[in-house]
Structure 1
Amino acid sequence: MSRKVVLYYFNGRGKMESVRWLLAAAGVEFDEVFLTKREQFEKLLNDGALMFQQVPLVEMDGLQLVQSRAILNYIAGKYNLYGKDLKERAMIDMYAEGANDLMEMIIMLPFIPPENKQKQLDNVEGKAKERFFPVFEKALANSQFLVGNQLSRADVHVLEATLMLQEVFPTILSTFPKLQAFQASMKALPTISKFLQPGSARKPPPDEVYIKTVKEVLSHMFK
């Protein structure tokens, strides 16, 4: 197994994008193997690399890591992005899960039938502005970071989530000044600034090629 971190997923965002964000924020370089054919997925299955028969898969430190939260927790723990104690870790997890709930709704948008898409868009926007953003705004009232006095995985995930939402709803942060300031300070961090530049491993919003590839590789899930 390679000593370098290797990500196995599609050439698109999905559940791997938060992993890319977190590794980038930690300043960790990684390689990617893009799944484009069903046969690649089946080989990973036959090789025993996918514990629960699903991706994402991350190879690092001699481990084959699956399950998104487990992967993110491992990276956060290794690179000091997981707070200073159990209480901070619990808060980081709560904020991170909130950001993940938002991103899950956005990730599923391309796979929703066109006739249901507007309803889902309204649902996402409403929940973001009424349920999630007020929580983040309050947490940032007197601090640059969501938890404690240093960068954590929660900050990285909330930045990713807000940027994703702005792609769909450009003015969604207009009534959340603390989140706007948070975005600006996060974007100024050297590792994150680098990840936001053209040519980085950051993936664009999903297009028809990505959707078609996912459906072909994971054909058993779309029957």
Structure 2
Amino acid sequence: MAARPKLYYFHGRGRMESIRWLLAAAGEEFEEEFLETREQYENGRLLFGQVPLVEMDGMVLTQTRAILSYLAAKYNFYGKDLKERVRINMYIDGTQVLMMMIIMAPFKFPEEKQETLASIMQKAKTRYLPTFEKILNDHGEDFLVGNKFSRADIQLLEAILMVEELNASVLSDFPLLKVVNIPTIKKFLQPGSQRKPPPDTHYVDCVRNIVLL
């Protein structure tokens, strides 16, 4: 029996959370080792001195986009041809911009946070969510590409739930943006799963102390 993937990251969401989402969507069980010290971070295994790091299939993988692309191809979440794949990549890049704004918000100085969150919500409601609502409305299907669940849908759902945590009513004007009925995703959203909660002060301090020391 093949070993489970093992994930090395801080005990929180960050850039690893999308990797967790893809593995969970595939029904793949995984193990985690959380970085708590600078010594763990400087173990010489990071290709560019950065996490996430994932051990799987006899490989040590770094760089978030490379890991996500590998997982999407491995688990057939990457479209049936190049035309579908480029559309998936377009939608992924769009949601990634929104997600990174949310991921970085907790690291802002206190006096900047309110303005940052207001900017995120304004862009979500006027740029990102309307775009995906229109895509789904125009082709009349449940999924973004090829009427099949793909990495683009997984990442969009992750982004939507991140925005909802900031404003629970944000989807009231976007009825097509909803949780898809995928058993593995529903399981991942249940309490007790390996999905991480929104970042707290312990997570923020840990990342600052390890990465910025």
Q: Under TM normalisation by the shorter chain, which class is it?
A: over 0.9
CA distance in 1, matches of 2:175, 2:185: 21
1:206 match: 199
1:147 match: 145
Matches within 5 A, 1:100-179: 100-141=96-137, 142-179=140-177
CA distance in 2, matches of 1:81, 1:203: 22
TM-score of the superposition, structure 1-length normalised? 0.92
CA distance in 2, matches of 1:169, 1:29: 31
1:80 correspondence with 2:73: no
> How many residues end up aligned between the 2 structures?
210
User: What SS does the corresponding residue of 1:115 show, helix, strand or coil?
Assistant: helix
CA distance in 1, matches of 2:9, 2:26: 20
1:190 correspondence with 2:188: no
**Alpha-carbon distance, 1:74 to partner:** 0.4
Q: Which amino acid aligns with 1:10?
A: F
| Identity value in percent | 58
CA distance in 1, matches of 2:131, 2:212: 38
CA distance in 2, matches of 1:108, 1:149: 32
Q: Which amino acid aligns with 2:172?
A: S
2:4 match: 4
Gaps of 5+ in 1: none
Task: Show structure 1 runs of 4+ deviating over 2 A.
Answer: none
User: What SS does the corresponding residue of 1:50 show, helix, strand or coil?
Assistant: coil
TM-score of the superposition, structure 2-length normalised? 0.96
CA distance in 1, matches of 2:142, 2:212: 44
Gaps of 5+ in 2: none
CA distance in 1, matches of 2:208, 2:112: 19
